[in-house]
Chains A and B, each alone.
Chain A
Amino acid sequence: MPRQLRPASFEAAAAALSGAAAGGEAVRIVGGGSKLRWGAAAAPPDVELRTERLDRILEHNQGDLTAVLEAGVPLARAQAQFASAGQMLALDPFLGPDHEATVGGVLATADSGPLRHRYGAARDLVLGMTVALSDGTVAHSGGKVIKNVAGYDLGKLFTGSLGTLGMILSVSVRLHPLPSRTATVVGDSAEPGTVARAAGRLAAEPLELEALDVAWSAGRGGVLARCAGSASEQRARRIAELMRGHGLDGVQIVTDDAELWARQRAGQRSDRGAMVRVASRPSALPRVLEAVQAADATAVGRAATGHTFVAVSPAALGTLLGHLPEGAVPVLLDAPDELRAAVDPWGPPGDRGAYELMRRVKQRFDPARACNPGVFVGGI
């Protein structure tokens, strides 16, 4: 069992990290623990540095639509506070069965949900970040205002770094107004191409959708288009007409749509099978869905950004990968142990120059190689 450390301050966290690093120990940084198994299988860490006592909402500046959160704040708790002021952090990944995912964990994994369609990825909502490095440095970057170009954007570098550069201590984020009303238009088809092309044509229209998802399961797929705002139902009626025109069946407007979207989020994780995130050009979506069908898999995804989450049985993984279109980049997120032991979930490092840079970044920020060694791309 790794040694468990639960620092309650930035200084204590930095000291814990540098102490372990100085002793040559490998450190895993743990938030809610809902995505602990993402990344490559590596030797068990010597130390687990847990963020659970770094759980304060340091600022919620309602008038400025910003907030500063410690890494261990459960995202669900932060969202509840923002919602009470009619606001939200527009970052809505699946938060785990007990809503345990923390702000730090969501950022370290760059996880996201359907709202990515309109509001961008996790990195697009980060205004500033405070991190601890393995030599004990506590460093701030960015700021607390929504517009700021002073200094390097280390918040983006650490977002998605899977704890391999250091420990995220706190983050300042941009908030958005919580929509007063929403309405979701759904339509379906048994043809992957019809589903994908209908979604693609909606994406090309100036509809300003809150989210635009596809789903595929058991030989049938659907498109979900969510409108938000005071005129959302009016807009939904227009979108319903468009969907019918694009050949979708069973088109209907759902105004009580929270459950629909909760299902899309839950579809991004897999308890027992494998979950593959596929990044592709949006125009490749028809062929991605064909691959999903070929592998007898289920999928949810963001039609306009080209991110598809595929739940597939380990036995059919090869079929899925073999059918993916050229240029699509798969990353294995969830997987049973035997599968994780057998493959590199990241696939081969892509561009050689970029990979060399990543290695150099790792060397500069974590020369002791203490932070989550071996779990990242190409063994970083």
Chain B
Amino acid sequence: MESGAELVDRLSGICGADHVLTHPHALATYRSDALAHYRQEPLAVVLPGSAAEVREVVRLCFEARVPWVARGSGTGLSGGALPVADGVLIVLSRLRRILSVDLEDGRVVVEPGVTNLSISRVVAPTHFYPPDPSSQIVCSIGGNIAENSGGAHCFKYGFTTNYVTGLEVVLSDGSVAQLDRDAPGYDLLGAFVGSEGTLGVATRIEVRVVPRPESVRTLVAFFEHTAQAGEAVSAIVAAGIVPGAIEMMDRLSIKAAEEATGVGYRLDAGAALVVELDGPAEECEARFEEVIALVEREHAIEVRVAADDTERELIWKARKAAFAAMGRIAPAYYVQDGVIPRTRLSEVLQRIDELSAEYGLQVANVFHAGDGNLHPLVCYDAARDGEPARAEELAGLIVKTCVDAGGSITGEHGVGVDKKAYMPSMFAEPDLEAFQRLRCAFDPHGLANPGKVMPTPRLCGEVPGPYREHPLERAGVATRF
């Protein structure tokens, strides 16, 4: 093991001294991701300028047995990019080239620091890249790979894992593997996407883009109560309609969003439901009429249909502002990311209301209603004695409520450090052990983003018994038939 100073020298040798940060002021910028209450200064922050430099940095960390964390734009909401003490933070924001665009095959190849939205921009107007996390203007595609990011449109279109077709990844020993969706063998690509940076770092990413839908229709329906809005969602899904997006806000989040944006959401409503259909014009029109009839049947007090793109933008503006606008309600909040089977929505929301009353803390609900992904925002004031701890406890109970209802602790934000303590509520010890087997296959020394995802630190044992080689392996290359 060499000293930290030696390591920093060698990092500078790889990336240039300008791209290795060690000054406390510089490190402070990188001590958190978007979940700012977790903070940790790393030994050094390094900003490689190429995939080759990433490989060299990882190789150096391996030789020195120094842990490292890869970071994209730092917009993650689970502390997944939280640095490790005495470790290296590898920031990929200089790797932001779009390497190729092939619209004929619907493929785009990029470096990991490229932002999510820039992929859709580069293939506009004919195509788009469907996974659209709210942070898409700034979040990086490499971060999306790590977290298997979703977004408002994933009920219909799916998640990052459904769109990644190829990855070049650097493993913790500095070796490189090309993971191709069509290559025969194990679906290593599927295992890697969503592994939260614990299996390696992607340095080259190929994604699939799809034709932009011909027609988009959007409405916002207001209801007296979230239960009615929930019934409307169930009715739409039961009719066999798969909306491009279907988003719900409750009274508190409507209030916050309306105060922030002034777009005209009804403050007397207990719930707002945004429904967007997209697709071929004929199908979209026919089904949109059905949606209007269904929300009216489920007692919407008002239905506003966007007449044009401007009105559509206004409807979305309030929804997208909901998180940021919560600052008007409370100085701070915990955001949770639990998922429930959608049919359990009413009872879970009722339970959240009860918990909110019990703890004397406001909880705003903003969620992806189609897939049951709740984003309860537990509001608190850090200046009040004991309130942060109570808020955290309440947030934990909400997660437990989701798991008890047959759901998940996280739908799109990832486990990171924030939710790893909840992992045993979803997974038993043998399940976690099975996860660890995958981890050990990729990173036997546990150097890539240690301390994340798994609830307790684990080491990789040696593989028991000698591996018996198949004659084909011994021959080196199998015969091409």
CB pair B478–A157 under 8 Å, yes or no, is no
Judged by a CB distance under 8 angstroms, whether A84 is at the interface is no
CB pair B177–A151 under 8 Å, yes or no, is no
Which chain B residues border A345 with CB–CB below 8 Å? 481
Distance to closest chain A CB from B188 (angstroms): 6
Q: Which among A63, A154, A304 is the interface contact of B343 at CB below 8 angstroms?
A: A63
From A146, A150, A344, residue with most partner B Cβ within 10 Å: A150
A144-B190 Cα distance, complex, nearest whole Å: 18
CB pair B175–A356 under 8 Å, yes or no, is yes
Judged by a CB distance under 8 angstroms, whether A368 is at the interface is yes
CB pair A206–B463 under 8 Å, yes or no, is no
A335-B105 Cα distance, complex, nearest whole Å: 31
Which chain B residues border A379 with CB–CB below 8 Å? 469-473, 478
The interface-forming segment of B86-94, B109-117, B156-164, B349-357 is B156-164
Q: Which A173-196 residues have C-beta < 8 A from chain B?
A: 176-180
A178-B473 Cα distance, complex, nearest whole Å: 45
CB pair A148–B478 under 8 Å, yes or no, is no
A133-B464 Cα distance, complex, nearest whole Å: 14
Judged by a CB distance under 8 angstroms, whether A326 is at the interface is no
CB pair B282–A231 under 8 Å, yes or no, is yes
Q: Which among B147, B188, B432 is the interface contact of A358 at CB below 8 angstroms?
A: B188
A61-B340 Cα distance, complex, nearest whole Å: 13
Q: Which A269-306 residues have C-beta < 8 A from chain B?
A: 279, 281-283, 304, 306
Which chain A residues border B480 with CB–CB below 8 Å? 321, 343-344, 347-348
A234-B287 Cα distance, complex, nearest whole Å: 14
Judged by a CB distance under 8 angstroms, whether B362 is at the interface is no
Q: Which among B107, B126, B343, B472 is the interface contact of A64 at CB below 8 angstroms?
A: B343
The interface-forming segment of B13-21, B324-332, B376-384, B423-431 is B423-431
Distance to closest chain A CB from B464 (angstroms): 5
CB pair A152–B435 under 8 Å, yes or no, is yes
Distance to closest chain B CB from A378 (angstroms): 6
Distance to closest chain A CB from B173 (angstroms): 10
Which chain B residues border A159 with CB–CB below 8 Å? 187, 190
A206-B179 Cα distance, complex, nearest whole Å: 29
Judged by a CB distance under 8 angstroms, whether B3 is at the interface is no
A279-B408 Cα distance, complex, nearest whole Å: 35
CB pair A365–B190 under 8 Å, yes or no, is no
CB pair B187–A156 under 8 Å, yes or no, is yes
Q: Find the B residue at minimum CB distance from A201.
A: B104
Judged by a CB distance under 8 angstroms, whether A35 is at the interface is no
If the complex has contacts A234-B282, A329-B182, A347-B478, are A149 and B470 also in contact, measured as CB distance less than 8 A? Answer: no
The interface-forming segment of B210-218, B268-276, B310-318, B388-396 is B210-218
Which chain B residues border A321 with CB–CB below 8 Å? 480-481
Judged by a CB distance under 8 angstroms, whether A315 is at the interface is no
Distance to closest chain A CB from B293 (angstroms): 13
Which chain B residues border A66 with CB–CB below 8 Å? 341
Q: Which A94-129 residues have C-beta < 8 A from chain B?
A: 110, 120, 123-124
If the complex has contacts A120-B158, A153-B161, A347-B184, are A148 and B240 also in contact, measured as CB distance less than 8 A? Answer: no
- Bitwise, B426-444 to A at CB < 8 A (1) or not (0) is 1110111111011111100
Q: Which among A161, A206, A354 is the interface contact of B280 at CB below 8 angstroms?
A: A206
CB pair A145–B372 under 8 Å, yes or no, is yes
Which chain A residues border B467 with CB–CB below 8 Å? 359, 363, 367, 369
A45-B278 Cα distance, complex, nearest whole Å: 51
Q: Which B281-305 residues have C-beta < 8 A from chain A?
A: 282-283, 285-287
Q: Find the A residue at minimum CB distance from B234.
A: A63
Q: Which B356-374 residues have C-beta < 8 A from chain A?
A: 368, 371-373
Q: Which B413-468 residues have C-beta < 8 A from chain A?
A: 413-415, 419, 423, 426-428, 430-435, 437-442, 453, 463-465, 467-468
Which chain A residues border B179 with CB–CB below 8 Å? 351, 354
CB pair B426–A364 under 8 Å, yes or no, is no
Which chain A residues border B285 with CB–CB below 8 Å? 231
The interface-forming segment of A135-143, A241-249, A258-266 is A135-143
CB pair B191–A153 under 8 Å, yes or no, is yes
- Bitwise, B131-166 to A at CB < 8 A (1) or not (0) is 000000000000000011010001100110110000
Distance to closest chain B CB from A11 (angstroms): 12
If the complex has contacts A153-B190, A180-B240, are A329 and B183 also in contact, measured as CB distance less than 8 A? Answer: yes
CB pair B177–A124 under 8 Å, yes or no, is no
A342-B280 Cα distance, complex, nearest whole Å: 49
A356-B238 Cα distance, complex, nearest whole Å: 46
CB pair A176–B213 under 8 Å, yes or no, is no
- Bitwise, B63-82 to A at CB < 8 A (1) or not (0) is 00000000000000000000
CB pair A349–B478 under 8 Å, yes or no, is yes
CB pair A357–B441 under 8 Å, yes or no, is yes
A137-B427 Cα distance, complex, nearest whole Å: 13
Distance to closest chain A CB from B388 (angstroms): 24
A365-B212 Cα distance, complex, nearest whole Å: 41
CB pair A144–B423 under 8 Å, yes or no, is no
A64-B409 Cα distance, complex, nearest whole Å: 18
A306-B148 Cα distance, complex, nearest whole Å: 24
Judged by a CB distance under 8 angstroms, whether A377 is at the interface is yes
Judged by a CB distance under 8 angstroms, whether A169 is at the interface is no
Which chain A residues border B155 with CB–CB below 8 Å? 146-147
Judged by a CB distance under 8 angstroms, whether A331 is at the interface is yes
Distance to closest chain B CB from A142 (angstroms): 9
Judged by a CB distance under 8 angstroms, whether B247 is at the interface is no
Distance to closest chain B CB from A226 (angstroms): 13
Distance to closest chain A CB from B55 (angstroms): 11
CB pair A64–B341 under 8 Å, yes or no, is yes
CB pair A235–B283 under 8 Å, yes or no, is yes
CB pair A361–B186 under 8 Å, yes or no, is yes
Q: Which among B148, B159, B342 is the interface contact of A63 at CB below 8 angstroms?
A: B342
Judged by a CB distance under 8 angstroms, whether A346 is at the interface is yes
Distance to closest chain A CB from B193 (angstroms): 7
Distance to closest chain A CB from B429 (angstroms): 10
CB pair A151–B426 under 8 Å, yes or no, is yes
Judged by a CB distance under 8 angstroms, whether B7 is at the interface is no
Q: Which A205-236 residues have C-beta < 8 A from chain B?
A: 205-208, 229-232, 234-235
CB pair A144–B406 under 8 Å, yes or no, is yes
Distance to closest chain B CB from A279 (angstroms): 4
Q: Which among A153, A342, A347 is the interface contact of B193 at CB below 8 angstroms?
A: A153
Q: Which among B104, B105, B340 is the interface contact of A145 at CB below 8 angstroms?
A: B340
CB pair A157–B190 under 8 Å, yes or no, is yes
Which chain A residues border B428 with CB–CB below 8 Å? 140
CB pair A354–B438 under 8 Å, yes or no, is no
A367-B435 Cα distance, complex, nearest whole Å: 15
Which chain A residues border B102 with CB–CB below 8 Å? 283
CB pair A133–B463 under 8 Å, yes or no, is no
If the complex has contacts A283-B105, A357-B188, are A367 and B465 also in contact, measured as CB distance less than 8 A? Answer: yes
Judged by a CB distance under 8 angstroms, whether A23 is at the interface is no
Spell out B's residues near A (CB within 8 Å): 102-107, 126, 147-148, 150, 154-155, 158-159, 161-162, 171, 175-180, 182-188, 190-191, 193-195, 211-214, 234, 237-238, 240-242, 279-280, 282-283, 285-287, 339-343, 368, 371-373, 406-415, 419, 423, 426-428, 430-435, 437-442, 453, 463-465, 467-473, 477-481
27 contacts between A and B (CB under 8 A): A61-B341, A61-B343, A64-B341, A64-B342, A65-B237, A120-B158, A120-B162, A124-B158, A137-B434, A141-B435, A149-B147, A151-B431, A153-B193, A154-B434, A156-B190, A157-B187, A157-B190, A203-B106, A206-B212, A344-B479, A348-B478, A351-B183, A354-B185, A358-B185, A365-B437, A376-B185, A378-B185
Closest 8 CB pairs of A and B: A379-B470, A156-B190, A343-B481, A353-B177, A177-B240, A139-B434, A379-B472, A231-B282
A-B contact sample (6 more), CB < 8 A, given A344-B478, A356-B175: A139-B433, A141-B427, A150-B419, A151-B427, A282-B104, A321-B480
